[in-house]
Amino acid sequence: MRVSKEYQIAFMMAAAAFFTLVGYEFIRSPATVLFKNTWGAENLPLVMSAMPVVVFGGVALYGWILSHLGPRRTLLVTSLGSSCFIVACYFGLLTGSKMVTPILFLIKELYIVLLIEQYWSYINSSLTPTTAKKVNGPITGIAGLGGVVGGSVGSLIVGPLGTEAMVLAAALMLIPAAIVSNLTYRLHGEPEAPDTSDESISHHMGWQMFRSNPTLVCLLAIVLSSQVIAAVLDFKFNELLSVEFAGATDMETAFQLRFWGFLNLASIGLQFVIAPLLLSFIALRLVHLMLPLIHFSAIIFAIIEPSVFSVGLAFFLFKAFDYSIFRAAKEILYIPLEFDARYRAKEVIDVFGYRTGKGGSSVLIALAQRAGVIMGNYYLYIAFFMAAIWLTLVFPLTRQKSG
C-alpha dist (Å) from residue 295 to 290, 365, 391: 9, 21, 10
pTM of structure:
0.78
C-alpha dist (Å) from residue 152 to 148, 155, 252: 6, 5, 14
The pLDDT confidence band at residue 401, using thresholds 50, 70 and 90, is low
Taking Cα atoms as reference points, which of 40, 116, 80 lies closest to residue 323? Answer: 116
Q: What is the pLDDT of residues 229-248, one digit of tens each?
A: 998 998 899 888 887 777 67
Give yes or no for a contact between 398 and 244, defined as CB atoms under 8 angstroms apart.
Answer: no
Taking Cα atoms as reference points, which of 257, 368, 362, 387 lies closest to residue 45? Answer: 362
The yes-or-no verdict on residue 18 having pLDDT over 90 is yes
- In single-letter form, the type of residue at position 100 comes to V
* DSSP states along 72-113: HHHHHHHHHHHHHHHHHHHHHHHTT-TTHHHHHHHHHHHHHH
The average pLDDT across 43-70 equals 86
The average pLDDT across 68-85 equals 95
Q: Among the residues of 95-162, which ranges form H helices? A: 100-126, 129-161
The yes-or-no verdict on residue 402 having pLDDT over 70 is no
Helix (H) or strand (E) holding 32: helix 2-39
The interaxial angle of helices 214-244 and 249-269, nearest 10 deg, is 140
Determine the pLDDT at residue 3: 60
The interaxial angle of helices 354-370 and 100-126, nearest 10 deg, is 150
Determine the pLDDT at residue 272: 86
The average pLDDT across 74-82 equals 97
Determine the pLDDT at residue 199: 54
Give yes or no for a contact between 341 and 334, defined as CB atoms under 8 angstroms apart.
Answer: yes
Q: What is the pLDDT of residues 92-103, one digit of tens each?
A: 999 988 899 999
152 CB neighbour count, 10 Å cutoff: 18
402 CB neighbour count, 10 Å cutoff: 10
Taking Cα atoms as reference points, which of 87, 20, 32, 118 lies closest to residue 358? Answer: 32
For 61-87, b/e burial (b = at least 16 CB within 10 A) is: bbbbbbbeeebbebbbbbbbbbbebbb
Give yes or no for a contact between 398 and 284, defined as CB atoms under 8 angstroms apart.
Answer: yes
| Region at 34 (left for phi over 0; alpha for psi -120 to 50; beta for the rest) | alpha
- Residues contacting 248, CB < 8 A, separation 6+: none
